[in-house]
Structures are given as C-alpha cells and as structure tokens.
Structure 1
Amino acid sequence: MLANKLNALLAERQITIKQAVQETNLSRNTISNISNNIYATISNDVLDQLCNYLRVTPCEFFVYAPIKINIGKGLNPDGIYLIFNVTDKQIENKYCFSLNLSENDSDENDILISLQSMSNDCYIFEKELVKLPPLLSASFTSQTIEIVLSALREEADDIIIKQNQHNKTSFNSYIDNSQKTTLKAKLIFPWGGYTKQLKIINGSIK
C-alpha cells in the first residue's frame, strides 16, 4: 500500500491549500484531491513540483506498507459479516468478522457495534495490521467504519440488535421504535475502540 502525506506535510509547515496553489501554480483541484485522498494518482510532473516546493524526497512524500488490504461485506443466515482480504508478498489471506450490535443502557453510548472473528486466526490478522504505518492504519480504520455504516444504512433489515438477554430485533425496527434523531455508538474492533454519532433521518442512518 502506497499513500501520500501531502496533507500532513502541509500541516507541519502551516501551509494552506490556497497558499500552496498560489506558490506552486498547480490547480486547486489537483492539490485538494491529493491532500484529501491519500491514495490519489499523482503524475511525475506534479510529484516533482510538490517535492521541490516542500523540500522533501519522494520517499518522504509517500508512506509505504508491504501489504494490501481490501474490505468487503457479505450476508449469511446469521447476518452481516465483513471480509478483509490481505495480500502480503503475493499471498492472499481472507479474514471474516461478524457484525454484532447490542443495545447499551449506559449514558455514554446507546449501542455497541463489534466485530467478532469467525475463525481462530484473528491474531494473525492483528499481526498484519501492525505492519501498517500510522497514516495507513488510520485510513484502514476509517474505511472499516464506513463499511460498517454502509451496512447499517443498506442492510438494516438483515442486521439484528440484541436489546437484552432474551430480546432481539432488526436494526431497522430498533431505529423506528427508538424515535431518536441521533445514536451514540461505541465501535469495538479487534485493533481498537472508537465512538461515532449516528444521525437518523427519515428512519435510516446518514
């Protein structure tokens, strides 16, 4: 995985997008696209201009990890699960995690969203994640959260939420019955915990 560090390099130097555009003569669209998308395609000419402007080498402009991770989702009789395809040295391994929801009675969070390994090789997957530099690790977590949110939006009828030890309902029904406009969610992943405010508009997560 190869990602650019333009956003971080500009922040370190306290350079705004507007200033970079004026001083490099590159278009605002070009700089904004690269700054906002760490995986943006960059031509050699643009890379040369940005490296000269920032006084960095291409090695300092990019961050690299020797693995590639693709994230997807699937549906089985038990509900939604996430699929992580990890390619390392041309060897591909697949890791599957079930998506589990439960209602939380604490004041801090309304619901708990967790990923639970569907096999016994979760520790191998976690070792793979250690190879990711902070920038790529943060991007991977953001992508995972977005996949989870897309499942909540698109497969709300297929996702079951536990309300207590005996009661379960579909996430769609839970939203309709809660009559809330926001949900405070705690996301528990094998590699860390995160919080997210989920907006509810017209009966679905936005």
Structure 2
Amino acid sequence: MKGGDKVLANRLKILLAERDLSIKDTVNATGLSRNTLSNIVNNPFANIATDNVDKLCNYLEVAPKDFYDYFPWHFSMGYSLRKKILKYRYGEEFEVGYFLISASSGHKKLDTGFTIFLESSLPAKEDPSLTFSIKCPTHDNFNKLFNEMSPLFRHTLQEKVVEIMKDFCADLDKEYFFNSLYQTNKNIKVSVVMYGKYNDDELFNNSYKCKFQN
C-alpha cells in the first residue's frame, strides 16, 4: 500500500465510544473546534498538531501510545491476468490471474503470491454475480501479518485490496465482456474473498455492485 500507505492511526473514535463521550462533549472540554474533531474522528490517518494530541490525551487520560494505533509494515500490491485466458465457465471456479503482496518493515521484507479464481453464476440467473477468490498463497507470512493487525488496519488493507481488484476486474472484462455474457445492462454483484494459508481460512469477504461495458 505504498503511495498513501499509513502506519500510524489515531484511535479517537474508539476512545470516545469506550467512554460514551460525544464530539460535543470533547469540544466543550478541550476547546478544539467541531470541524477539527470531526476530521480526526472520521479520518484516523489525519495529521494532528502536537498541541491537539496533548489536549486530547489529557482529556481522555491516556498516553500518546494509547491514543495511536501503530503497525510498522508498508504494503505494496499488484496483479496480473493469466497469460493464457481460459474459456469462460459458468458456475465453476477457474483460474484467471495472480495477486502479489509485498510487505516491508525496516530491513525485513516479505513477498506473498496468490492465485485469483473466478466463480460466476449461471447465465439464466436473474441477478448475475461474480466471486473472485484470492487464495493459495506461496507463503503464510501475509496471513500472520494480517492476524497481527488491529481491526482498523485490517479494514484499511481490505479496502485497498478491493480497489485493486476493481482494476483487475475491469481488465478481465476486456477478455470476457461480462454484460454480454449475462445479456444484462444492470449492475453485477462482485465479491472479493481473500484466504489465508488454507482455503477455509477466510480473511475477509467484501461485495460491491459494478457496471461493466457492453
């Protein structure tokens, strides 16, 4: 996730929820503006002035190490289509590409490759769907890192994977023309599922609606 990758995130939203405090309560107690606090709450990776961190830590009675969530790994990700595109198969999982994740922290570096499989609904189905499974990793090191992350960092990484898979899906559409296959002008449901070391070790499952070119 380099180029926008963040390793330090504030936990203000969680800290307020744990104490049943509102933004209004915090504005009144700290003197910080509502806009400033809303930005911090809604954007965990926002830059916060040191004075403001001091005011918030003092108000919440926490140390800076408890105000922030830290994960010291940077991620970069990419994909490639299968060199020889296979004949389209309805209702059957088949290989369509590859997903690579590189992670670095200091002098440590880990690379994990995955295979991307596609399983689609049958053509007669009223609401067509595509499921992309990212699995069969070359190493289990990414699985270990993922399990070490806080929920916030996991969510951020999931969003990044899904955004990359949207690009992958658009490239694959140039080979298969999904709307034509399903003879539809409607949005198609796309699911992205990522697995760890084993196929029953599901790391996350995200879905979205996509409109493909005819």
Output the TM-score relative to the length of structure 2: 0.69
Displacement of 1:58: 0.8
Displacement of 1:61: 0.8
Residues 42-191 of structure 1: pairs in structure 2 closer than 5 A: 42-65=48-71, 67-78=72-83, 81-104=98-121, 110-117=129-136, 120-121=138-139, 123-152=140-169, 154-158=170-174, 169-171=176-178, 173-174=180-181, 177-183=183-189, 185=191, 187-190=193-196, 191=202
2-structure distance, mates of 1:80, 1:21: 50
C-alpha contact 2:112 2:141 (8 A) present in aligned 1: no
The verdict on how the C-alpha distance between 1:8 and 1:87 changes in structure 2, with shifts beyond 3 A counting, is: same
Displacement of 1:132: 1.7
Aligned residues: 188
C-alpha contact 2:194 2:205 (8 A) present in aligned 1: yes
2-structure distance, mates of 1:116, 1:130: 16
C-alpha contact 2:75 2:101 (8 A) present in aligned 1: yes
Displacement of 1:27: 2.8
Displacement of 1:133: 2.6
- Of the structure 1 ranges 177-186 and 129-138, higher mean CA displacement relative to structure 2 is found in 177-186
The verdict on how the C-alpha distance between 1:35 and 1:82 changes in structure 2, with shifts beyond 3 A counting, is: farther
Structure 1 gap segments, 5+ residues each = 161-168
Displacement of 1:35: 1.7
Displacement of 1:3: 1.9
C-alpha contact 1:109 1:186 (8 A) present in aligned 2: no
Greater share of residues in strand? 1
Structure 2 gap segments, 5+ residues each = 1-6, 84-95, 197-201
2-structure distance, mates of 1:186, 1:76: 16
2-structure distance, mates of 1:143, 1:94: 17
- Of the structure 1 ranges 105-114 and 179-188, higher mean CA displacement relative to structure 2 is found in 105-114
SS state at 1:155 partner: helix
Displacement of 1:185: 2.7
Instruction: Tell me the alpha carbon deviations over residues 49-88 of structure 1, each in whole angstroms, 9 at most, x when there is no partner.
Output: 11112221111111223x3132332435536543322113
C-alpha contact 1:10 1:16 (8 A) present in aligned 2: yes
Instruction: Tell me the alpha carbon deviations over residues 3-33 of structure 1, each in whole angstroms, 9 at most, x when there is no partner.
Output: 2111111222233334433432223332222
Q: Percent identity?
A: 28
Displacement of 1:156: 4.8
C-alpha contact 2:190 2:209 (8 A) present in aligned 1: no
Output the TM-score relative to the length of structure 1: 0.72
